[in-house]
Amino acid sequence: MPLDFFDKIDSHLEKELPFVAYRKPNEESVKAIFQNDDGLLHLNDYSETGFVFAPFDSDAPAILLRLDEVLHLDAFPDKTNSPSKNIGEEPGEEQHAFHLDLVKKGIADIKAGKFDKVVLSRSITVKTDTAPLSLFQALLHQYKTAFCYLWYHPKVGMWLGATPEILLTFHNRKLTTMSLAGTQDYTDNVNPTWGNKELEEQQLVTNYILKALEGKVSNLERTPTESVKAGALMHLRTKISGNATQENLGAIINALHPTPAVCGMPKGETKAFILREENYDREFYTGFLGELNFKTERNRNTRPGNTENNVYRSISKNTTLFVNLRCMQRINDTIQIYVGGGITKDSDPEKEWGETVAKSKTMLKVILATE
Ligand SMILES: C=C(O[C@H]1C=CC=C(C(=O)O)[C@@H]1O)C(=O)O
């Protein structure tokens, strides 16, 4: 008898073989991709097909999972699962002081004209012995509008997350991306108002994306900027779209990643600042992940009233990539939660600290719901 969806994931975990399980935003079905050996494949040039998992540091290799076996679960049963316990990390004063210093250094470099915006982050360690599958199921329960995933490779590690941010989608020559930045707490039925700091922070991302796509994407369009909910937070979002060719896909991804929503502007200077000044390795946090060149087959009719001879099969490719935010890494019986925020000349270090605390609750809620 074939194994059921979650049994198959458990069995792959037991055999220490690579897989990813995920659900796209607002979709019902959950998908899992299994690689049947533990080979570590690196992405070459974006012409390949597979599930890609790329680190923040765009000079480090991205990993590709082969689609040896693909399983679908039609729907995951609904259950609202809100933990009653009061959630929150208990950060050491040392971590707090380090982050304030880091943010102050960022603000000083912005004021000195070295860059316009930088995203600074930290990691939080939480002890838990909850099974990975329970954490994934809690993600699915809690975050319907996010891209929820559990990714595992025995030679790399295990990551989980519920990200609100699309890096890009590409299908039938149509490319879409988004500028997502600016954060405030979500309050029921209240239309958020945004301060200048957040508006500028998000505008810088939009400008950067539009410029990065110039010459690579034609018919560029953008929607008006709107407020979107992500867990218990709100962000500012502008959707950007246009037409592109398959040959340009790699160049477009390289031009976008890492965007100033996770790195800064200009890219080179801020990436160097982050790698030098943050006291830890982001690894896959603020990298990207998703389906690369997945094939869909369709039967098409060449003419109305056609005969069978006029039916041909067309194969199109789909790419759907997400920025790896609101994520955590499971290392034995501990979990590392990763959180950051955009710093501009108007940032207040203590408020920026508070924003990372608020963002950490997205994953802390999941851990608490499973304990
Ligand atoms: C870097 C993160 O969020 C980014 C995405 C949305 C809003 C952000 C902000 O307001 O700073 C960040 O740019 C994170 O969640 O760790």
Vertex 315: Cα angle to 72 and 37 (nearest 5): 50
pLDDT computed for residue 1 by the predictor: 47
Residue 226 burial by Cβ neighbours in a 10 Å radius (0-12, 13-18, 19+)? exposed
**Does residue 329 belong to any structural domain of this protein?**
no
How far away, in angstroms, is 16 Cα from ligand 1 center? 33
Q: Report which protein residue has its CA nearest ligand 1's atom 10.
A: 182
Kindly give the pairing relationship between strand 264-265 and strand 218-222.
unpaired
**Does residue 292 belong to any structural domain of this protein?**
yes
Residue 156 burial by Cβ neighbours in a 10 Å radius (0-12, 13-18, 19+)? middle
Cα dihedral: 15, 17, 19, 21 (round 10): 20
CB 343 within 8 Å of CB 107: yes
DSSP notation for 91-150: --HHHHHHHHHHHHHHHHHHHTTS-SEEEEEEEEEEE----HHHHHHHHHHH-TTSEEEE
**Does residue 322 belong to any structural domain of this protein?**
no
How far away, in angstroms, is 305 Cα from ligand 1 center? 53
Please choose from 179, 185, 235 the residue to mutate so as to test ligand 1's pocket, defined by most ligand atoms within 8 A of CB. 235
Please choose from 118, 167, 180 the residue to mutate so as to test ligand 1's pocket, defined by most ligand atoms within 8 A of CB. 180
pLDDT computed for residue 112 by the predictor: 98
Question: What is the number of residues in the chain?
Answer: 371
Q: Report which protein residue has its CA nearest ligand 1's atom 11.
A: 341
pLDDT computed for residue 80 by the predictor: 55
pLDDT computed for residue 283 by the predictor: 98
Which residues lie closer than 8 Å to 173 by C-beta, 6 or more apart? 243, 244, 245
The CATH number linked to 66 is 3.60.120.10
Q: Which residues line ligand 1 (CB under 6 A)?
A: 119, 121, 165, 180-183, 235, 261-262, 325-326, 339-342, 359
**Does residue 54 belong to any structural domain of this protein?**
yes
Which residues lie closer than 8 Å to 227 by C-beta, 6 or more apart? 191, 192, 194, 234, 235, 236, 237
Closest ligand 1 atom to 165 CA: 5
What distance in Å separates the CA atoms of residue 365 and residue 328, rounded to the nearest whole number?
12
Please choose from 177, 359, 360 the residue to mutate so as to test ligand 1's pocket, defined by most ligand atoms within 8 A of CB. 359
How far away, in angstroms, is 265 Cα from ligand 1 center? 14
Which residues lie closer than 8 Å to 283 by C-beta, 6 or more apart? 55, 56, 329
Q: Report which protein residue has its CA nearest ligand 1's atom 5.
A: 181
pLDDT computed for residue 131 by the predictor: 93
Dmax (CA) of the chain: 75
**Does residue 326 belong to any structural domain of this protein?**
no
Structural domain that includes position 226:
5-301+336-369
Query: Count of domains in the chain?
Result: 1
Q: Report which protein residue has its CA nearest ligand 1's atom 7.
A: 181
**Does residue 308 belong to any structural domain of this protein?**
no
**Does residue 306 belong to any structural domain of this protein?**
no
Residue given tokens 């533990």 in the structure block? 38
pLDDT computed for residue 191 by the predictor: 86
How far away, in angstroms, is 173 Cα from ligand 1 center? 29
In order along its 371 residues, the chain shows pLDDT tens digits of 456 899 999 999 999 999 999 999 999 999 999 999 999 999 999 999 999 999 999 999 999 999 999 999 998 876 655 555 556 566 688 899 999 999 999 999 999 999 999 999 999 999 988 999 999 999 999 999 999 999 999 999 999 999 999 999 999 999 999 999 999 999 988 889 999 999 999 999 999 999 999 999 999 999 999 999 999 999 999 999 999 999 999 999 999 999 999 999 999 999 999 999 998 999 999 999 999 999 988 776 666 655 556 667 788 899 999 999 999 999 999 999 999 999 999 999 999 999 999 999 999 999 988 88
CB 314 within 8 Å of CB 300: yes
Kindly give the pairing relationship between strand 30-34 and strand 19-23.
antiparallel
How far away, in angstroms, is 164 Cα from ligand 1 center? 10
**Does residue 159 belong to any structural domain of this protein?**
yes
